[in-house]
């Protein structure tokens, strides 16, 4: 069973003005939007530029906006939209566009670099599994980073639109994970780094990052917890219970 | 602080008010906070300009008081109260969650802000239009 999909794609090439172009394709009923984009590329225009790799929400490279909402098209079924609807596909906001739907995600990685946040951190035992008897042949349970580094949160964040130096929700959520991994070693330095107008205090609590995150990272909540840590640390210093300065 | 460097990006405050595709109530609260904030700043200056009429004698002031009693002006008073409530109550919500308090309940807190704003604005409307002072 196939479905007819109409894609209205924002085209943007160097040297020409941005414009919308419509592609009509037929895809299986079970297809995702990325499949439809690939079909459009294959059947209609080989210059249509978009980024993708894994096709299963692991690499985080294919993020776009579909009808204005940040999504990973590789795991967004076309069946989520009404039959016959035209899907408007646009690049992520708050990143420079390289071509069509491909953006320069450097801003995301520079934020992570500033915090020396690892792409993945050493695996740790799942809380639920702690103390549980391991199945035969299984050495241990491991939990990996939830964040795909897809940049959807940076696109959805309104504060990113007006502060080009804002670290952004993904990096700030990563900062909390680094702190939790090594609170004694990394904590004070990270809190000092984040206690800045381009850090924790740039967020204006719209919570859109959490709304669009495809991996349940909940960056806004992490950011608020970090704010709480900074404020409590300041109070402790104010009351003379802790040495140090920010 | 940052070692973060980025190519200069276009700063676009109008994106603050771009609700297309936005799904959460948080951005609506974000927009309401900015609109009410701008409104309250404008009101503050209007208030100071109007108070200046006191320096022009009783006649000028009485003329303004007559205008201030008109239904259209009283409706603006209700709007002002609504703006103060939205900004003040949401400000309390943001303060709480910025301390790490009630972060997981931020949507519930926002619902409380909206409910309190509606109820208190309605009471203000009743008091302004129907209670004789």
Q: Is A53 on the interface with B (CB under 8 A)?
A: no
- Residue among A67, A198, A227 whose CB faces B21 most closely: A67
Note whether A114 contacts B27, CB cutoff 8 Å: no
pLDDT in tens, A134-186: 778 877 665 556 889 999 999 999 999 888 889 999 999 988 888 877 777 77
Q: What does the mean pLDDT of chain B come to?
A: 87
Query: What's residue B5's pLDDT?
Result: 36
Averaged pLDDT for residues A77-86: 94
Token digits of residue A213: 């995150």
Note whether B99 contacts A227, CB cutoff 8 Å: yes
As a whole number of angstroms, the distance between CA A106 and CA A142 comes to: 29
Note whether B2 contacts A225, CB cutoff 8 Å: no
Averaged pLDDT for residues A185-199: 84
Widest CA span in chain B: 62
Q: Which residue has the higher pLDDT, A36 or A244?
A: A36
Q: Is A70 on the interface with B (CB under 8 A)?
A: yes
Query: What's residue B12's pLDDT?
Result: 77
Note whether A198 contacts B4, CB cutoff 8 Å: yes
Q: How confident is the model at residue A120 (pLDDT cuts 50, 70, 90)?
A: low
Q: Is B26 on the interface with A (CB under 8 A)?
A: yes
Averaged pLDDT for residues A41-68: 95
Residue B8 has pLDDT above 50, yes or no: no
Q: Is A68 on the interface with B (CB under 8 A)?
A: yes
Query: What's residue A245's pLDDT?
Result: 44
Among A78-82, A108-112, A215-219, A242-246, the least confident range: A242-246
Token digits of residue A79: 């069946």
Query: Is the Cβ–Cβ distance between A65 and A50 less than 8 Å?
Result: no
DSSP string, A6-73: EEEEEE--TTS--EEEEEEEEEETT-BHHHHHHHHHHHT-TT-----S-SSSSS----EEETTEEE-G
Q: DSSP alpha helices (H): ranges in chain A?
A: 33-43, 106-114, 152-156, 169-181, 183-194, 208-212, 219-238
Note whether A199 contacts B1, CB cutoff 8 Å: yes
Q: How confident is the model at residue A246 (pLDDT cuts 50, 70, 90)?
A: very low
Q: How many CB pairs under 8 A join A and B?
A: 112
pTM of the model: 0.83
Q: Is A221 on the interface with B (CB under 8 A)?
A: yes
Q: Is B102 on the interface with A (CB under 8 A)?
A: no
CB within 8 Å of B23: residues ≥ 6 apart: A69, A208, A211, A212
Starting at the earlier edge strand, list the strands of the sheet with A69-71: A19-28, A2-11, A86-90, A64-66, A69-71
Residue A86 has pLDDT above 70, yes or no: yes
Q: How confident is the model at residue B53 (pLDDT cuts 50, 70, 90)?
A: confident
Query: What's residue A130's pLDDT?
Result: 59
Judging by beta carbons within 10 Å of its beta carbon (0-12, 13-18, 19+), is residue A155 exposed, middle or buried?
buried
Query: Is the Cβ–Cβ distance between A173 and A219 less than 8 Å?
Result: yes
- Comparing C-alpha atoms, which of A134, A205, A150 is closest to residue B31? A205
In this prediction the ipTM stands at: 0.76
User: What Rg, from alpha-carbon coordinates, does chain B have?
Assistant: 20
Query: What's residue A140's pLDDT?
Result: 67
Query: What's residue B4's pLDDT?
Result: 34
Q: Is B71 on the interface with A (CB under 8 A)?
A: no
Averaged pLDDT for residues A216-222: 91
Widest CA span in chain A: 70
Averaged pLDDT for residues B105-127: 96
pLDDT in tens, A17-46: 999 999 999 999 999 999 999 999 999 999
Query: What's residue A187's pLDDT?
Result: 76
Q: What does the mean pLDDT of chain A come to?
A: 87
């Amino acid at each position: 069973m196939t479905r007819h999909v109409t894609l209205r794609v924002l085209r943007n090439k160097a040297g020409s003005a941005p414009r919308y172009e419509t592609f009509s394709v037929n895809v299986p009923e079970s297809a995702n939007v990325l499949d439809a984009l690939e079909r459009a590329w294959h059947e209609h225009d080989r210059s249509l530029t978009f980024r993708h790799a894994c096709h299963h929400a692991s690499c985080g490279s294919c993020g776009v906006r579909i009808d204005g909402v940040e999504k990973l098209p590789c795991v967004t079924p076309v069946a989520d939209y009404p039959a016959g609807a035209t899907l408007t596909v646009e690049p992520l906001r708050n990143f420079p566009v390289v071509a069509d739907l491909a953006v320069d995600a450097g801003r995301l990685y520079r934020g992570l670099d500033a915090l020396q946040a690892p792409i993945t951190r050493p695996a740790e035992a799942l809380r639920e599994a702690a103390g549980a008897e391991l199945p035969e042949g299984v050495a241990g349970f491991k939990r990996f980073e939830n964040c795909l580094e897809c940049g959807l949160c940076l696109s959805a964040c309104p504060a990113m639109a007006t502060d080009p130096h804002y670290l952004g929700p993904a990096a700030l959520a990563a900062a909390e994970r680094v702190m939790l991994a090594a609170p004694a070693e990394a904590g004070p330095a990270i809190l000092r780094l984040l206690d800045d107008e381009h850090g924790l205090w740039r967020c204006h609590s719209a919570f859109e990052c959490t709304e669009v995150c495809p991996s349940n990272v909940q960056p806004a909540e992490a950011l608020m917890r970090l704010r709480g840590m900074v404020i409590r640390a300041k109070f402790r210093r104010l009351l003379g219970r802790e040495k140090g300065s920010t | 602080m940052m070692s973060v460097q980025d190519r200069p990006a276009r700063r676009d405050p109008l994106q603050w008010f771009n609700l297309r595709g936005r799904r959460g109530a948080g951005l609506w609260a974000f927009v309401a906070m900015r609109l009410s904030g701008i409104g309250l700043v404008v009101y503050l200056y209007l208030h100071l300009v109007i108070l200046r009429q006191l320096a022009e004698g009783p006649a000028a002031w009485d003329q303004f008081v007559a205008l201030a009693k008109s239904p259209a002006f009283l409706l603006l008073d209700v709007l002002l109260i609504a703006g103060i409530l939205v900004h003040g109550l949401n400000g309390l919500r943001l303060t709480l969650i910025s301390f790490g308090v009630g972060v997981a309940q931020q949507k519930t807190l926002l619902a409380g802000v909206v409910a309190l704003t509606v109820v208190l604005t309605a009471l203000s409307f009743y008091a302004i239009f129907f209670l004789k002072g």
